[in-house]
A and B are shown apart, each in its own frame.
Chain A
Amino acid sequence: MIVIIVLLSLSLLVAIIFLLAYLWSVKSGQFDDDFSPANRILFDDNDIKDKYKK
């Protein structure tokens, strides 16, 4: 059952890495704007369309 200790420690380590990623992303302002990124992906890329029109 010692293996549980190893498993727990490792999974906590991985989780902490994600926590650190979260803290870093909040600090760097990635979540300041939650509306734009969601809508940006829905825009058509008209540049390509225009390129082919010509």
Chain B
Amino acid sequence: MEKLNLDIEQKSVCFHCGELCTANEKVLFNDKLFCCNGCQRVYALLHQYNLDEYYCLNEMPGSQKKANSSEKFLFLDEQSVAASLISFKNNELTKVTFYLPQIHCSSCLWLLENLKKINKGVIFSQVNFTKKEVSIAFNHNEITLRQLADLLSIIGYEPYISMNSGNKTNVKTDKSNILKLGLVGFCFLNIMLISFPEYLGLKLTDDAVLTIFFRYMNLFLALPVFFYGSSEFFITAYKGLKQKYLNIDAPIALAVLITFVRSIYEVVSNTGSGYFDSMSGIVFFMLVGRILQSKTSKSIQFNRDYQSYFPIAVSVVNSGNKIATKIQELKKDDVLFIHHHELIPVDGILSKGNATIDYSFVTGESVATPVKIGELVYAGGKVLATNIEIIASMPFSQSGFIKLWENIAFKETKRNKAVVIDNISKYFSIIVLLIASVAFVYWQIFDARLSWKVVSSILIIACPCVLLLSASYTNAFVLDLFSKHGMFVKNAEVLNKFTKINHIVFDKTGTITEPNHFDIVYEGTKFNEIQNALVLSVMDQSIHPLSVAIAKQYKNYKSIMVSNIKTIEGKGIEAWVNDTYIKIGSASFFGLEKSENINFSEVYIGIDNVVFGKYCIKNKLKANFENLIHSLVNYKISLLSGDNDNSRNQMSEIFPKESILLFNQSPQQKLDYIKKLQNKDQQVLMIGDGLNDAGALQQSDIGISVVENVFSFSPACDTLLNSNKLKLLNQFILASKASRKLILVTFAYSILYNLLGIVFSVTANLEPMIAAIIMSASSLSIIHISFVGVKLIERKYFNDKNHVLI
């Protein structure tokens, strides 16, 4: 018998956001545990205004907030910038709509609609949950637009304002699909209802008035279906014909047309009841299929260009005054004031401030670069710790950063191999039309009355729509399954490509390593409490990322004010605290030899001229990454990193022997490497996280962008993958292969069905109406097979015992 391993660890989670509370950072307030000060502050604010209902409606409804500068929304004070966001304004009232990506539950809804309780200036607020927008009407005399944005930030719902929203290109939501479906559904069902008497045996000879009345009623109801509901099939078929190409919509359009014309003829000439039920049925089911497919592809926006990445405006300093200026209007020689944690929008020269710039998005280096006054800084870098001023050396559009986007890789369309299914559909349509014409001729000779019936039946029952439905429904279900488990795929073609992949390329920084966590080990003489406090207080004052990481890890010390610190660029820090001389820095700073063959960074500590020891800091790999690599046995693997060589040993231990590990790769080199692989006929899957991979991601056959949250910026890529779901990569690939098999199964089923259907129709054994019923039934059965098949796939590849059942 298995021994039950009851490993129940009492994990403490934050009352506000649900993240784990580390011993170092947790805060206790009002008998509740919080993971950080940020969460506790939000709680305190809500409690103060009697908004505790927020926590009653849902458990842990908040989100962990990163602190940001209080001047983040300064640009909203500027009239011209604000005007692009405001939808209405008069003397007392202003109405604005903000996009808040953090909206995810009913607590968010409740809190945002009770905003007026926190600030009297807010008159009315309404949430559109599906669009994740809030529409706020406020009195601009009591609260300004900027203060409103700040307020939203404080409660954890920071508005996401990008250059796109500033341009107010309102994407009109396409409702025509739903309108068509409603109309066609209405007509279809009513036609079926009115056809009942005829189904049950009503004949013209029994009661002429009623029969004729019912027939004309059907005709009347079929008109909107034909002219409005099926219009898109005719339009696409026509467009295809213009290009001399018979696309999938052509047979459907033809079937609908023939059925409609024939039915009108029969009703008007009193020779029959027509096939309006079949016709409207076809249109209805095809529309359902289309809507289902389009729903899954709309859920994630993919091709965000750099406009969503940059802030909407930057402060330009003009004779001492800071004026918010739209980013597109920046000119050469403008003096820009950039706050800490903001992005540098254009290349420029540093004119004021002790700058340390984080270029990880552009180069992939995880260690920040210190920059002296007079040196160049580049667009795309993030400013750390202090505010700076730069003199722009070129206008926005010409910055090197933007040029990366205009790179050829983005202009070329991806290598597109024709999908097998498309080919089959093309031939299918032609074959069916051929069979229909041959049958028509045949029956005209032998029994002319039957010829129209035969043609209609053939076209109805042998619809390639069944073939397509199998693929489109299965794909729709699989895309949905993937997004449930954290991978958001752009469209079904990408799913197909997964099955052909034979080479997987990983980016290092931020993709397989945790971007914010390091493994820190101290080697040397232990500090006593006072020494510990001194050293850590000094580190806390430094802005170097290694010091920041160490200070964050060893939080339990009594902080001492350090006033005398000197930073020596590229070497380390010196400080005098309480009459003790503290020296922190690299090996060379201490005159020591740098250790060879290591894969970590060393930070040496010296107190009063005695070297105590060193901190060894290693980039931490994502949890379960090793398991992932071991599971990817059938693929060649490469690692491309923009970082330096230090981690080669660590990587060689984890990656299989034949994998290729390349370091110091520039964005262009990464792109070239992918091209090289493709020239050797490899199908490449690339996984990366930042702008420095953008060209390579675009070039690969499949590009996966790993993100912390799906609303963060992503370059044009085929797939978004939630960063903590990277470990499921192999399962995703296996699942796509399985889904391809499923499509083939449904395909075989539909071909069998088509063959039987054609055989029966050609021999005039099939009434068009029965044909339509069978066709509808087969469509439904295919949907069911797809659905059950995908559920089975989920159970097989994603059934992980720790997974919470949703």
Contacts and interface: CB of A to CB of B under 8 A. Distances in A.
Contacts of A36: 109, 127-129
Contacts of A27: 175, 179
A8 B129 CA distance: 41
Interface string B172-187: 0101001100110010
Interface stretch (B60-68, B205-213, B658-666): B205-213
Interface in A3-51: 4-5, 8, 12, 15, 19, 22-23, 26-27, 29, 31-36, 39-40, 42-44, 46, 50
B646 interface: no
Contacts of B194: 8
Contacts of A43: 53, 57, 110, 113
B128 A12 contact: no
B130 A23 contact: no
Contacts of A32: 128, 130-131, 173
A34 B114 CA distance: 20
Contact of B210 (A5, A31, A35, A39): A5
Contacts of A5: 209-210, 213
Given A12-B217, A19-B183, A27-B175, A46 B50 contact: yes
Contacts of A31: 178
Contact of A40 (B109, B173, B190, B209): B109
Contacts of B57: 43
B624 interface: no
A23 B177 CA distance: 11
A15 B190 contact: yes
Nearest to A47: B117
Given A26-B178, A27-B175, A15 B209 contact: no
A23 B127 contact: no
Given A12-B190, A33-B128, A19 B182 contact: yes
A37 B307 CA distance: 33
B80 interface: no
Nearest to B197: A4
B193 to A, nearest CB: 9
A2 B130 contact: no
A53 to B, nearest CB: 10
A12 B57 CA distance: 44
A7 to B, nearest CB: 11
A2 to B, nearest CB: 7
B209 A2 contact: yes
Contact of B130 (A19, A34, A39): A34
Interface string B26-66: 00000000000000000000000010010001000000000
A31 to B, nearest CB: 8
B301 interface: no
Interface string B507-524: 000000000000000000
Nearest to A34: B130
Contacts of B178: 26, 31
B335 to A, nearest CB: 45
B106 interface: yes
Contacts of A12: 190, 217
A47 B106 CA distance: 19
Contacts of B175: 26-27
B186 A1 contact: no
A35 B190 contact: no
A34 B217 CA distance: 35
A2 B114 CA distance: 59
Contacts of B130: 32-35
A1 B202 CA distance: 13
Interface string B120-155: 000000011111000000000000000000000000
Nearest to B224: A19
Given A1-B210, A2-B209, A44-B53, A33 B129 contact: yes
Contacts of A46: 50, 53, 114
Contacts of B186: 15, 19
A19 B584 CA distance: 76
Interface string B156-191: 000000000000000001010011001100100010
Nearest to B128: A33
Contact of B106 (A8, A33, A39, A50): A39
Given A39-B110, A40-B113, 4 more contacts: A5-B209, A8-B217, A35-B109, A43-B53
30 contacts: A2-B209, A5-B210, A8-B213, A8-B217, A12-B190, A19-B186, A23-B183, A26-B175, A26-B178, A26-B182, A27-B179, A29-B173, A31-B178, A32-B173, A33-B128, A33-B129, A35-B106, A35-B129, A39-B106, A39-B109, A40-B109, A40-B113, A42-B106, A43-B53, A43-B110, A43-B113, A44-B53, A46-B50, A46-B53, A50-B50
Interface of A: 1-2, 4-5, 8, 12, 15, 19, 22-23, 26-27, 29, 31-36, 39-40, 42-44, 46, 50
| Shortest 10 CB-CB contacts between residues of A and residues of B | A35-B129, A39-B106, A36-B129, A33-B128, A33-B130, A19-B186, A33-B129, A5-B213, A22-B182, A43-B110
